[in-house]
């Protein structure tokens, strides 16, 4: 009943929610924009002179900025590669019928329920610690020198930790997609002479493309803003080897007390995120059309 | 060649036996229809032949070679699924080309065969569309096209017309029959619709609960059903099966008479009855008549228009040479 009357009624009823949402988003954004033009530090919060774009040029010219940008990309792409690739493999495995498959499915989902800080601390102290971590012990048992993960390969360590947390999400979404593939199609392909690999490549993978797109889009949004895992493990170090944009922005405020630079960094991050979003939607968004 | 022999084929899912031992010969070039009520194991039998299910026992011999252990693709059979099972993300062209591509055929030959198939099936205008952009009948044709390009030894159809509307079904029925005339390839066709079976088959296999009740040409099944099940299943409307005293007069436990073999009169006849419902189709009139000889209404056909209405009294006389007689086990007495 899409009459003029019902449309107007719908608008009137949606208005409060839309207005609240707008305020919710616009007010912080406007304040951030405003702060980013002030010389506003926590050391002297009562004098906040207008400085124009100075905070932006300071943030963008910080040598750490380019490193953080590169780290952010490595982090996002690395985690996406592991979770999508691994998710497809695990989903294929869990789609099989074997004894205890329900319990295994539950176990695979479990990491998703662990808080990011807890997961990162467990990985740092119990898995990756070179002396008493599980991985170190295992390598030592094999006669290989243990790796000091957080110092030697800090970015890789964070990629592994974050991928571990997001693998269940990817697996779950991809598994549901896989289960909705009709048996008939697989059988038809089998009769048409397609082997297991061909069926995967020509039938299963295209069928999952929409789910893969959803996984990539949703994860990218969250992966751009990783913070807690870095804070409790490497704190962006050594140097700036594991600093991403989010961490760099937070550092401006928490370490240097520079609210102006942090706000400018925040705006830069918003712009970057939008560039990524536009890029992604252009690249893979067509998969979402019916 | 397209000769399929089933020898003592059995199929059970776990403890549930779907097909107890079954023998069947399908000869080269035949159009064989498996017909039977829903759930009787028709699809299962077809899938056994296709190789999509493993037999529990027995042998499947295709063209003289034991194919029991062969994977589906190696049996030289093509199947058209009830759901069509088209690949939704591929164009019509790619769908039809898929089996050829999997066979590693070169591009020029693939294009030639696909174009030819598309033309014969009137699909040339839709060749670049996706399945979702096609009507039911067109999808059906794509599924058939995908089967014929492979030039298989035999075609397997699993209720291919059941998702189409009535008018389209009649059209596709003809098209499939014509295709068989032209290709002369063996076709095995599953349906629960006895009209499809009667109109298309060279040989009908009537199945009930995994057992073969009778094998024969449509006319054989019509004129000489082997038992009451086949008698009731083949023919439309159903044969009247009457037990009790009336059957006793014919020295049988059950007598059967088809609606078209009962003479109708408003004045005299063997059985008196009252019309309950009359269906006027123009070309025929079907009467459902309540009569003391049977506790269910008898169905009677009158050619053309027969002017009676609910509540009228009519007299029925079975044509004596068209009466079917069955013994206490339901088997025909010859
Ligand atoms: N994979 C299966 N597992 C268990 N039972 C099945 C399976 N496939 C079919 N059946 C059973 O076998 C019987 C025959 O099924 P089917 O061959 O599909 O019947 P039809 O095609 O004649 O309607 C049905 O009772 C069905 O429940
Ligand atoms: Mg069936």
pLDDT exceeds cutoff 90 at B325: yes
- In angstroms, the separation between the Cα of residue B87 and the nearest Cα of chain A is 7
pLDDT exceeds cutoff 80 at A289: no
Rounded distance from Cα A211 to ligand 2 centre (Å):
31
B315 and B281 within one domain? yes
User: Which residue is it, tokens 């027995």?
Assistant: B58
Helix (H) or strand (E) holding B58: strand B57-62
B184 and B209 within one domain? yes
Determine contact, residues B197/B27, Cβ cutoff 8 Å.
Answer: no
pLDDT exceeds cutoff 80 at A290: no
Instruction: Give the confidence band of B35 by pLDDT, cuts at 50, 70, 90.
Output: very high
Q: Is A34 on the interface with B (CB under 8 A)?
A: no
Which one, of B89, B143, B148, B69, lies nearest residue B116 by Cα?
Answer: B148
B39 in contact with ligand 1, CB cutoff 6 A: yes
* Residue A103 within any structural domain of the chain: yes
B37 in contact with ligand 1, CB cutoff 6 A: no
The model scores a pTM over 0.90:
no
Q: pLDDT by residue (tens digit) across B84-113?
A: 999 999 999 999 999 999 999 999 999 999
Q: pLDDT by residue (tens digit) across B116-127?
A: 999 888 888 899
Which residue is closest in CA terms to ligand 1's atom 16? B41
Task: In whole angstroms, give the CA distance from residue A237 to residue A244.
Answer: 10
B114 and B253 within one domain? no
Instruction: Give the confidence band of B2 by pLDDT, cuts at 50, 70, 90.
Output: confident
Task: In whole angstroms, give the CA distance from residue B310 to residue B297.
Answer: 13
* Residue A75 within any structural domain of the chain: yes
Task: In whole angstroms, give the CA distance from residue A64 to residue B192.
Answer: 73
Q: pLDDT at position B276, please?
A: 93
Q: Is B110 on the interface with A (CB under 8 A)?
A: no
Contacts with A, B 184-203, CB within 8 Å: none
Determine contact, residues B35/B192, Cβ cutoff 8 Å.
Answer: yes
Q: Looking at the CA of B206, which ligand is closest?
A: 1
pLDDT exceeds cutoff 60 at B196: yes
Q: Is B146 on the interface with A (CB under 8 A)?
A: yes
B209 and B141 within one domain? yes
- From residue A20, give the alpha-carbon distance in Å to each of A14, A16, A24, A30, B8: 10, 6, 6, 15, 74
Could you tell me if residue B153 is left (phi over 0), alpha (psi between -120 and 50 degrees) or otherwise beta?
A: alpha
* Two tokens, residue B86: 């088209």
* Residue B235 within any structural domain of the chain: no
Question: Domain containing B174: what range?
Answer: 4-230
B98 and B211 within one domain? yes
Rounded distance from Cα B43 to ligand 1 centre (Å):
7
In chain A, pLDDT over 70 holds for what percent of residues?
A: 99
* Two tokens, residue A158: 């964070």
Question: Domain containing A79: what range?
Answer: 65-242
Helix (H) or strand (E) holding A267: helix A259-284
Phi, psi of A52 (to 5 degrees): 70, -130
Q: How, if at all, do strands B65-66 and B57-62 pair?
A: antiparallel
Q: What is the CATH number of the domain that holds B165?
A: 3.40.50.300
Separation of first and last alpha carbons in chain A:
24
Q: What is the CATH number of the domain that holds B267?
A: 2.40.50.140
B18 in contact with ligand 1, CB cutoff 6 A: yes
Q: How many domains does chain B have?
A: 2
Which residue is closest in CA terms to ligand 1's atom 4? B13
Which residue is closest in CA terms to ligand 1's atom 5? B13
Strand partners, B5: B25, B61
Task: In whole angstroms, give the CA distance from residue B85 to residue B14.
Answer: 27
Q: Is A185 on the interface with B (CB under 8 A)?
A: yes
Q: How, if at all, do strands B262-265 and B254-257 pair?
A: unpaired
Q: pLDDT at position A280, please?
A: 85
The answer to whether the Cβ–Cβ distance between B50 and A191 falls below 8 Å is yes
* Residue A9 within any structural domain of the chain: no
Q: pLDDT by residue (tens digit) across A77-116?
A: 999 999 999 999 999 998 888 888 888 888 888 888 888 8
Q: What is the CATH number of the domain that holds A125?
A: 1.10.3720.10
Strand partners, B317: B263
Q: pLDDT at position A173, please?
A: 93
* Two tokens, residue A15: 């208005």
pLDDT exceeds cutoff 70 at A1: no
Q: How many domains does chain A have?
A: 1
Does the predicted interface ipTM exceed a cut of 0.90?
no
Which one, of B76, B27, B31, B30, lies nearest residue B49 by Cα?
Answer: B76
Phi, psi of B55 (to 5 degrees): -75, 150
User: Which residue is it, tokens 């290709």?
Assistant: B183
């Amino acid at each position: 009943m899409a009459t003029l009357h019902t449309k107007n009624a719908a608008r009137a009823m949606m208005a409060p929610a839309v207005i609240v949402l707008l305020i919710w988003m616009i007010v912080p954004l406007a304040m951030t924009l405003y702060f980013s033009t002030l010389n506003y530090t926590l050391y002297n919060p009562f004098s906040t002179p207008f400085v124009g774009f100075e905070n932006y040029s300071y943030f963008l010219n910080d040598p750490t900025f380019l490193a953080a940008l590169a780290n952010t990309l490595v982090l996002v792409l690395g985690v996406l590669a592991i979770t999508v690739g691994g998710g497809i493999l695990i989903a294929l495995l869990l789609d099989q019928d074997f004894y205890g498959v329900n319990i295994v499915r539950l176990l695979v989902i479990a990491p998703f329920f662990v808080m990011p800080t807890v997961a990162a601390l467990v990985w740092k102290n119990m898995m990756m610690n070179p002396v008493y971590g599980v991985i170190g012990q295992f390598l030592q048992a094999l006669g290989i020198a243990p790796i000091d993960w957080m110092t030697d390969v800090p970015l890789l360590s964070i990629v592994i930790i974050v991928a571990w947390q997001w693998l269940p999400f990817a697996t779950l979404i991809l598994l549901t997609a896989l289960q909705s593939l009709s048996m008939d199609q697989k059988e038809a392909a089998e009769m048409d002479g397609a082997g297991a690999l061909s069926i995967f490549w020509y039938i299963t993978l295209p069928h999952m493309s929409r789910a893969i797109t959803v996984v990539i889009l949703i994860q990218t949004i969250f992966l751009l803003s990783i913070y807690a895992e870095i804070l409790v493990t490497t704190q962006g170090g050594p140097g700036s080897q594991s600093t991403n944009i989010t961490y760099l922005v937070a550092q401006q405020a928490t370490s240097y007390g520079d609210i102006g630079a942090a706000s400018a960094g925040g705006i830069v991050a918003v712009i970057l995120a939008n560039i990524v979003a536009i890029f992604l939607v252009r690249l893979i968004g067509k998969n979402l059309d019916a | 060649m397209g000769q399929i022999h089933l020898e003592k084929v059995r199929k059970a899912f776990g403890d549930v036996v779907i097909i107890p031992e079954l023998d069947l010969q399908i000869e080269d070039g035949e159009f064989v229809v498996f017909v039977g009520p829903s759930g009787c194991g028709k699809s299962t039998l077809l899938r056994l032949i296709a190789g999509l299910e493993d037999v529990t026992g027995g042998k499947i011999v295709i063209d003289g070679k034991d194919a029991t252990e062969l994977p589906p693709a190696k049996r030289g059979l093509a199947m058209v699924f009830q759901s069509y099972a088209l690949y939704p993300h591929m164009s019509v062209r790619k769908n039809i080309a898929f089996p050829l591509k999997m066979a590693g055929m070169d591009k020029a030959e693939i294009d030639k065969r696909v174009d030819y198939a598309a033309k014969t099936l009137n699909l040339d205008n839709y060749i670049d569309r996706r399945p979702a952009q096609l009507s039911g009948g067109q999808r059906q044709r794509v599924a058939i096209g995908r089967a014929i390009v492979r030039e298989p030894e035999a075609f397997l159809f699993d209720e291919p017309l059941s998702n189409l509307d009535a008018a389209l079904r009649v059209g596709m029925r003809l098209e499939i029959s014509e295709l068989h005339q032209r290709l002369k390839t063996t076709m095995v066709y599953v349906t629960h619709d006895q009209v499809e079976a009667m109109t298309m088959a060279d040989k009908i296999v009537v199945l009930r609960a995994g057992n073969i009740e009778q094998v024969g040409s449509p006319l054989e099944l019509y004129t000489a059903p082997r038992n009451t099940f086949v008698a009731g299943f083949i023919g439309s409307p159903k044969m009247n099966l009457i037990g009790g005293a009336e059957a006793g007069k014919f020295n049988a436990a059950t007598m059967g008479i088809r609606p078209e073999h009962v003479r109708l009169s408003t004045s005299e006849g063997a059985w008196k009855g009252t019309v309950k419902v009359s269906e006027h189709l123009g070309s025929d009139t079907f009467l459902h008549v309540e009569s003391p000889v049977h506790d269910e209404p008898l169905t009677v056909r009158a050619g053309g228009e027969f002017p009676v209405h609910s509540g009228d009294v009519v007299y029925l006389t079975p044509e004596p040479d068209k009466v079917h007689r069955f013994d206490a086990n339901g088997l025909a007495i010859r």
